[in-house]
Structure 1
Amino acid sequence: MKKMTSNESFQSVVQRALASPSRRTVLRGGLGLGLLGFVPETLQSAFATSVTSSASSAGVMTNAESQLGFKAVGKSLLDDVQLPPGYRYTILHATGDPLKSGVSAYSNEGAEVDDWTGRVGDHHDGMEIFYLDAKGRYSDVPTDRAVLCVNHESSADAHFLHPRGQTSSGMQGKKFTQFGDWDLGHRPETEVVKEMNLHGVSVVELVQDGRGWKYLVDAPLNRRITPETPMLFGGSADQLPHINTLMKTAFDPSGRSSRGTLNNCGHGKTPWGTYLTCEENWAKYFQISANSSPLGPKQVAGLKRYGVASQPLNKELKKAFSQGWHTVSAQDNRFARWNLAWLESEPEGDFRQEANTFGFNVEIDPLEPTSVAVKRVSMGRFAHEAAVCGTPVAGEPLAFYMGCDSVNEYIYKYVSEAKWDPSDVGGGIRAGDKYLNEGRLYAARFNADGTGDWLELNIQDPKIRGFEAFRFANQADVLVHARFAADAVGATRMDRPEWGAVNPRNGDVYFALTNNSAANRTPAKVNASNPRAYNDTDGKKRSGNPHGHIVRFRDQGLRSGAQTFNWDIFLFGAEEDDPRSNLSGLTAANSFSSPDGLWFSRATGICWIQTDDGAMTDETNCMMLAAIPGALGDGGKMTVSNVMQVGGEIQEGVQETFVGAALGEARLRRFLVAPKGAEVTGVTESADGKILFVNIQHPGEKTPALGTSERYALESAWPGNQGYGQPGRPRSATIMIQREDGGVIGL
């Protein structure tokens, strides 16, 4: 990281840019500094450094053309990754690949009997690359040695991991689906151990070779973080005793530690060089059994607000998400921990509080294999989807932006008490203690006039202290039940906030709002930041806001601690042939639905958009698009006319909103289409912008398990159908994309 004193000034950057016709195009087109003329003078050099340092490390000029340089990929239902002409992909690693030489090659038939701690996990999701210097320390300068951290989200299609699909001892010879009735018996231990340990994070060491990067088996930094990995809780000094009280279980009666991480989806990278893995839909793994003593009303309310106790009885299990892990053995707390209603006399004697230990950003130091991961409670507990840091400025606090991935949930911001000191780069978990334990948590309110407010979640606020739906005891209670606190202060319920990303060129913050249902979004229930409600009459025929949109905002003065912001809507997802919902003028070359992953290239400034779609998959698999983003305020007002059938009646209404400038095919194109049934999620790149790492998650996810004596009717056979590993069942994988001429991706 460059020192602030040696930065090129903002004024000279702008003057030099304006002296070049091509750079004038960039400034107007949005790939350059955009609206930084409005940046306070104290922050100007920081953003100039962000642009110049990213360009110099990548060897890419900051005056990249204001249009994309590849031919748009068409829609596809093929069972392979589709890329533009002149591009190719290779697979770095896939589900079950060994990290240690003593682990057998992956059979792809469910034959593995090991515990999976020596294998790459499943459901590849968020990821980040970390460079190492010659001494194995963190380097913010690119080298030929690195570590890649990859999240592993779910076990929703775990039937592929077992010879005959998921079973329980009372269901031998019968098929099992995810929503099975566990009254029939206990699940086999070998199956459940696999399913637990495929979650978490894979840390793999990479080296460059002539074709790009490869991962090393038996590398000293290879490791797996799983639901059984011991972790600590971090929080502010005054609240940590209260936090520990909420985390007491039979595993650690002191409440200072817990086991593992679950449903790891989006991610973040800290300025000091550690990894934040985000615990997303963790609630679905827990179960309340029918024959246990009732829990206290406050705990039941908390579990219900987070989705744990919505179907508590066994007779309703067909509607629940439990994987039945708690059925293996009540005497083994590896499995008993998933049953929240096994009660003893005190919380430290059972697992009634086990769900409290999930729902956090977990900080991992990928370059210190003996370090203990820390759950950062001050950043709040919810269904975390990404934790993206704003541009660090020496002497200013750090801001991390986070989404809660459920319909009608919130966007959050955490602001550190400590001011950023660049000398903390490489400081590991100790630096995390400095910046992530003491800070303030906010939820966003998007106002109808294009402004917004960050509402602090603080027990001193009378709206929180007197909230009747949940009686907060202290600030630790506020953090652990942040959803209730956001309810209390009146934050804006959004259309399922997922990944966030910060544009390194101008500081704008982007969030993917994946979709919302007809129950929550009707013409009578829209607002300025979630303005659409309609019936999708094509294909899947879903209603509400089935195609989603992307919102962006900028903190006032680009200050991390600002309590106000301005916002607009960057893009609306839509099918190109539906004029009612296609508010961004999409075409067959760039139509998309359900934006999920978001990530900005520091080498090129491209905004990469990844989809997790269920509304448009009748005509194309999920995809990744490239966008040249522009800047907040480059568009204007829009009146959205909503027409929707609600309960047999036609409901109409209009909603004023603010939208960015239309991009067109020159600045928004489809770059990749995934294999059948797959979600595209997770992206990072080599520092020179010439290799793009992308995750392909759960190909063939909806393939049913057909029973113990039949083969699978596979929706997808990728990547085995392309010659990677054993053919047959589909596998998640990390792919590396390159241009055949060795050039920079996307331009």
Structure 2
Amino acid sequence: MKDPALGYTEADTDTNDSAAPSLESLAADRYSRRQAIFGGAKATSLAFMGTGMLAACGDDDGGNNGALVVSAGSSAATSAGRTVTLTGTVTSGASTTTNARWTQRSGPTVTLEGSGASVSFIAPAVESATDIVFEFIASNALGSQASSQTTVRVSPAVLGFSAVGHSLEDIVVVPEGYSVTVMTRLGDPLTAATPAYANDGSDADFANRIGDHADALAYFGLSDAGAPDAGANGRGLMVQNHENITESYLHPNGPTTVGGARPLDEVLKEIECHGVSVAEYVDNGDRNWTYVQDSAFNRRVTPNTVMSFHGPAAGNAWLQTMYSPEGTAGRGTINNCANGVTGWHSYLTCEENFHGYFRRDSADDALRSERQLASLRRNGVTSRSGSYAWSTASSTDTRITRWNATTTSATTAATSDFRNEPFQFGWVVEIDPYDPASTPRKRTALGRFGHEGAFAQIVAGQPVGVYMGDDSRGEYLYKYVSNANFDAADTDAADRLATGDKYLDNGTLYVARFNADGTGTWLPLVFGQVPARPASGSYPEYAFESQADILINCRLAGDAVGATPMDRPEWTAGNPATGEIYLTLTNSNNSNRPVDGTNAANPRSYWGSGNPNGHIVRLREDGDTTAAMTFTWDIYLFGADTLDTDTADEQANINVSNLDLSNDFSSPDGAYFSRASAPSGQFNPLFWIETDDGAMTDVTNCMLLAAQPGTVGDGGARTINNTNPNTGATGSQATFVGASASAANLRRFLVGPTQCEITGIDMTPDGRTLFVGIQHPGERGDAANITSNWPASQTDADATARPRSAIVAITKNDGGVIGL
């Protein structure tokens, strides 16, 4: 099986100069174009219901002198990813049939499941209509044998489900023909000794339980023997980020304080609910998934887990703390949002909104250097209490005091306190999911900022490219390019973290500038090439002193080189067929995107609210190489609420992508392409879009959409006219847009439960199970006012339980590929 980590290849060269007619041309005489699409009643079932049965009755015994007669059924048509059932029939004259079997005679190789007269297979990915010929063979006790052939024409993949409508239900809604299984949930135990989750606020020991706020996830296959196996579909490790907490549900009656201080046990629970979890998942047959509570692979990585720093910033003075005077080690990872998966099968988790957890007392400002104050402000480390007031829970326990980043004295060393603790966060962390004893590594060469995602583009013979968004309004898109070209032999490296040293510690970090003409430039963030950041507002001039300084202060460096401010750069994803990179831009409020503050890559400002529905940018590297210094770009999709864009002006300037009720959405966040190993990930792969929305939640909960996008440049130039109805200000912005959406290329696949965010997505290599994260259902409630009962409500409409973030496994009832 081709490993999806090796990226994409192009195989469109015809090297066969034979003059013999092809199977395709021979079949053309038999099938009209309409028949190839619809194929009569049986093919209609295949094409639109996903499953069909190819069967025909054989002649009866009469008049055949006992001869064996078989039929392979009528020829039919389907499309890639659909389940096809072949059923042969036998008329045996004198004796009972002793053997009946199916075999494939031509066409792309498929795996026949089942035995005897009835078998099934998954239609393979094809670039154009392709015929597959099967033969049904039977014999009887007298030694007679007969056979019959049938042909299945497979067309390229198409979206194969009916769009899910808007929903405000407290369940996960999926299309007809699909099923939802709730997998690991907040609090589920990860050891045999850990008790079941009571879900009443009394539970403890989250170092051995699934954490809160399920976010990005990734499935890593295991062989039956428990060895790493990237192609395994029935057993694997689910690695999942835990971004934050819904504090009100974690305690019996919500969080408490005693004398102005938080209780230590409450705070330790909240801290341990953050981070990353690893849990073994097993298919018990026919995609009946469960998790293994006592698996030796199960693991929690929390904000208290020991970490090591690697790359150019390791050992820098700004990383030195009481815990690590050398600045080469630290504890934990926090606010883990999106992720990435490397070509050597390790996991990249991204630290996003780390800044809010730290407390800095007012006295700290006078004790800091001007340079550190600029860095702390630029990265938002300005709170006087810190999120959840963790630092108040103890004055001696360094698991607690580390969250107080106040400088104790101007005359003492930085290693005497935790003034530098904020600089230990905001990194990409590499974890080996297969080795619970391994120490995660913070990869400083990838830069420090509010990391949302870290999509790794892996192509053999090219440098490793890692594309990263900085999720804050007006921030930037980054790319890291390794010095070393990727060696395909490293795909199966036994020491995955050492392989990460090779590719992730030595390279160049770039930041993107999107030009008004539809091109873009990668600006290197290299010491000696980055000028001083000019003074502006409350910021003094900032001159960089080293490469480590640039990497610790990427936002200041991006400012200095003139990167393009974006509308909250979120997840990044790469099309496995084209290599194009997609970047979700969730939204931007009016203060960051006023009518006169747009740019070509962020062109909308409307309703006096900036860009509340967000959009998705895509880019193609020049020369299709990760090392490119330039690229072309357009805006693939614009989010819009179609119920609020009903005038001609709003249709033209807000609903730019021509969405309708079957596919309208707001605030794109998660982004994912189906795996290249699945039929849904080849030729024209399915692109999955998850939302984190507040603008449309009066009419629908957050959602997951499936799309078949085109390529950069399939739309054209467009001028958008922006208006602020509150002030009367107007402005126009030239940009480049993708082809309009339609029911054929974009549909809503899933809607989540009440007050949730749809986060995290991956699938098994065959594409027949889709895993999706459901984050913070009922987030606006508390113990006294529970506003969601999910996931209990998924199967019990009368449930009264507190809500829990969780992962769901989605399968197709006929066993086919998800989405096709």
TM-score, with structure 2 as normaliser: 0.79
Give, in whole Å, the separation in 2 of the partners of 1:279 and 1:110: 27
2:257 equivalent in structure 1 = 168
Q: Provide the residue aligned with 2:609 in structure 1.
A: 543
Query: 1:309-324 residue pairs with structure 2 within 5 A?
Result: 309=382, 311-312=383-384, 322-324=387-389
Specify the alignment match of 1:198 in structure 2: 273
Aligned residue number for residue 300 of structure 1? 373
> Is the aligned partner of 1:81 residue 2:161?
no
Does the aligned pair in 2 maintain the 1:610–1:624 contact within 8 Å?
yes
Matched, 1:269 2:326: no
Alignment partner of 1:120 is 2:210: yes
Bigger RCO of structures 1 and 2 (CA < 8 A, at least 6 apart): 1
Q: Is contact 2:125-2:157 (8 Å) kept?
A: no
What is residue 36 of structure 1 aligned with on the other side? none
Match of 1:158 among 247, 250, 254: 247
Using the alignment, how far apart are the partners of 2:818 and 2:353 within structure 1?
Answer: 33
> Is this contact kept in 2: 1:58–1:689, CA < 8 A?
no
Which of 700, 705, 710 in structure 2 is aligned with 1:620?
A: 700
SS, match of residue 694 in structure 2: coil
Using the aligned pairs only, state the percent identity.
46
Of residues 717, 738, 741 in structure 1, which corresponds to 2:811? 738
Equivalent residue letter for 1:208 = D
Deviation at 1:141, TM superposition (A): 2.4
Is 1:349 aligned with 2:416? yes
How far apart are the structure 2 equivalents of 1:302 and 1:89? 46
Query: What pairs up with 1:130-169 in 2 under 5 angstroms?
Result: 130-133=220-223, 136-155=226-245, 157-169=246-258
Counterpart of 2:591, as a letter, is A
1:232 to 308, 313, 330: 308
Counterpart selection for 1:11 from 10, 13, 25: 13
Letter of the 1:680 partner, please give it.
I
- Other structure's SS at 2:356 match: helix
**Counterpart residue identity of residue 364, structure 1:** I
In structure 1, what is the Cα distance between the partners aligned to 2:122 and 2:487?
24
Q: Secondary structure at the match of 1:642?
A: strand
Match of 1:248 in 2: 320
Corresponding letter in the other structure for 1:573: G
The 1-side partners of 2:320 and 2:399 are apart by 16
Computed over aligned residues only, the root mean square deviation of the Cα atoms, in angstroms, reads 2.8
Deviation at 1:55, TM superposition (A): 12
Give the match for residue 669 of structure 2: 596
1:467-506 to 2 correspondence within 5 Å?
A: 469-506=541-578
User: Structure 2 counterpart of 1:563, which letter?
Assistant: M
Q: Name the SS of the counterpart of 1:324 in structure 2.
A: helix
Indicate whether 1:61 and 2:139 are aligned. Answer: no
User: Which secondary structure does the structure 2 equivalent of 1:385 belong to?
Assistant: coil
Contact 1:137 / 1:426 at 8 angstroms: preserved in 2?
no
Distance in 1 between residues matched to 2:625 and 2:737, nearest whole Å: 23
Which residue number corresponds to residue 404 of structure 1?
Answer: 470
Indicate the structure (1 or 2) with the bigger Cα radius of gyration.
2
Q: In structure 1, how many angstroms separate the alpha carbons of the residues matched to 2:109 and 2:702?
A: 34
Kindly indicate whether the alpha-carbon contact (under 8 Å) linking 2:484 and 2:502 is maintained by their aligned counterparts in 1: yes
- 1:187 counterpart (238, 262, 266): 262
Verify the 8 A CA contact 2:166 2:701 in the aligned structure 1.
Answer: yes
CA 1:621–1:584 in structure 2 vs 1: closer, same or farther (change >3 Å)? same
Q: Aligned AA for 2:369?
A: G
* 1:2, distance to aligned residue in structure 2 (A): 5.2
1:581-592 paired onto structure 2 within 5 Å: 581-592=654-665
Shift of 1:300: 1.5
Q: For residues 10 and 595 of structure 2, what CA distance do their matches in structure 1 show? A: 50
Match status 1:654 vs 2:732:
yes
C-alpha displacement of 1:714: 1.6
Residue 110 of structure 1 aligns with which residue? 201
- Structure 1: distance between partners of 2:198 and 2:331: 29
Task: Name the counterpart of 1:372.
Answer: 439
| 1:572 paired to 2:650 | no
Partner of 2:395: 330
Contact 1:442 1:456 in 2 (8 A): yes
How far 1:144 moved relative to its partner? 3.0
Structure 2 residue matching 1:138: 3-state secondary structure: coil
1:628-667 pair list within 5 angstroms: 628-645=708-725, 648-667=726-745
Kindly state the Cα deviation for residue 424 of structure 1 after the two structures are TM-superposed.
Answer: 0.9
Amino acid of the residue matched to residue 327 of structure 1? T
Measure how far apart 1:139 and its partner are: 2.2
1:466 Cα deviation (Å)?
7.7
Whether the 8 Å contact between 1:606 and 1:627 is mirrored in structure 2 is yes
Superposition deviation, residue 104 in structure 1: 1.3
Q: Residues of 2 paired with 1:14 and 1:190: CA distance?
A: 71
> Counterpart of 2:331?
259
| In 1, Cα distance between equivalents of 2:110 and 2:618 | 22
Moved over 6 A (4+): 13-22, 52-59
- Structure 1 residues 192 and 59 mapped into 2: Cα distance closer, same or farther (>3 Å)? farther
Give the partner amino acid of 1:552: R
Q: Aligned to 1:91, what secondary structure does the other structure show?
A: strand
CA contact (8 A) 1:401 1:500 kept: yes
Q: Which letter does structure 1 place at the counterpart of 2:439?
A: V
Q: Which whole-Å CA distance do the structure 1 matches of 2:460 and 2:596 have between them?
A: 46
Task: Say if 1:14 and 1:449 are closer, same or farther in 2 by CA, change over 3 A.
Answer: farther
